[in-house]
Amino acid sequence: MLQVNFLRENKERVLEGLHKRNFKNINLVDEAISVDEDRKKIQFELDQNLAAMNKISKEIGILMKEGKKEEAEAAKSKTSEFKENAQDLQQKLKDLEARLLQILYQIPNIPYEKVKAGSTADDNEIIYQSHDVEGLGEGAIPHWELAKKYNLIDFELGVKIAGAGFPVYFGKGARLQRALVQYFLDKNVDAGYLEVNPPHVANEASGYGTGQLPDKEGQMYYINEDNLYLIPTAEVPVTNLYRDVLLDEKDLPIKNTAFSQCYRREAGSYGAHVRGLNRLHQFEKVEIVRIEKPENSYAVLEEMVNHIKEILTDLELPYRVLRLCGGDTGFAAAMTYDFEVWSAAQEKWLEVSSVSNFETFQANRLKCRFKSEGKTQLVHTLNGSAMALPRIMAALLENNQTEDGIKLPSKIAEYAKFDLIN
């Protein structure tokens, strides 16, 4: 969430950033500033009212000591009027603060200066590609057929139990999933991340803290009886560990990694692009989260990008890195890099990771600050997928198919305890 003072003092920059995003409701900026001005006026009036009440209260005490009861009673009646006025002003202030908060919740983050303007994924910048790519040619089998052929994943059985988008993994398919999770966690821990095992549900305050609410409310599974949400990513519970926390400078940086199931309704997703593992309602993912001093966050973002590159190199998958344009950058992010792997049988790129710097946007919602030399300021938060499993699994199956079976990369074979699926 952007601070209203930032909107007021950097209005031109804010509007320019929102135009980069193709954000239509730019009137919200002026509305937020206007409501805040009204809030300030009411706050000033309330402060004056309370000061007058305190002054009269002191005068009453003096009058009572001096035996001037009639004058004291007259002063008390004035106090009653001030109290009623104060209650009215406090309610107005509360209503204005709530209204301001709801407006600010609707304004997305301002893109970083390196983010280009653009409307869709077609406008994203390809900044790195590991290999030239090509299809496997005639006879290449997509992963959903390979999964059936080798009894790795049953998509129809998942429909029977829960519905489309909830696959069931068997045998070497289940073991490969487990091996990938363990490899990703070990890789992250070796890079200095502390492993966390968080809840897989989150309350409303947590959803607002990281920006999923109200922006993506319709895409989250909701447990009505308990007012809880199934998490769409471990970013939500892990980042919220630091909600309402005042850190000391020596506590930074904070580096966490977590494995979780992820649940996403993906409402409105239909067609061939969601077939098989391409888009699921439940999937496994390993996340990395960073809490950083503001001056370090963009260097850290590049460090995280290089970390994901190492993982994909170990997986021996052709991949590319894109810097998202303004229109494709997530609501809370200031800058995002997407990683895509080449799906040789489908002959298309599949997104497997997003690494983002949110600057102070989440921290302001979370009220996560740090103290340095007696001054308190907001931290910068970052997170990334390291990594999401479904499309990694799809690419591993498709890209490594041979006449003898599916040959696993050596790094993963070490974890899976087998190197061939046949």
Q: Which residues are annotated as a binding site for L-serine?
A: 233, 264, 287, 383
Rounded to 5, what percent of the chain is helix, strand, coil? 50, 20, 30
From 344, 343, 394, 415, select the one nearest 169 (Cα to Cα): 394
Give the burial class of 333: count Cβ atoms within 10 A of its Cβ; 0-12 exposed, 13-18 middle, 19 or more buried.
Answer: buried
Residue 383 CA neighbour count, 13 Å, CB half = 28
CA-to-CA distance for 359 and 398, rounded, in angstroms? 37
From the DSSP assignment, how many helices (H) and strands (E) are in the chain? 13, 19
Strands 420-421 and 405-407: antiparallel
Written as six digits, the tokens of 163 are 């519905």
Binding residues: 233, 264-266, 287, 351-354, 383
CA-to-CA distance for 27 and 33, rounded, in angstroms? 10
Torsion (CA) 321, 19, 216, 390 in degrees, nearest 10: -10
Residue labelled with tokens 């630091």: 242
Which spans in 138-193 are helix H?
143-149, 155-161, 171-190
In this structure, the number of other CB atoms found within 10 A of the CB of residue 13 comes to 13
Binding residues for ATP: 264-266, 351-354
What residues form DSSP beta bridges with 289? 256, 383
Strands 168-169 and 380-388: unpaired
From 129, 143, 150, select the one nearest 399 (Cα to Cα): 143
CA 106 to chain centre: 15
Give the burial class of 251: count Cβ atoms within 10 A of its Cβ; 0-12 exposed, 13-18 middle, 19 or more buried.
Answer: middle
CA-to-CA distance for 413 and 340, rounded, in angstroms? 22
**Local structure of residue 112 (DSSP, 8 states):** P
Cα torsion angle, 147, 151, 152, 154, sign = positive
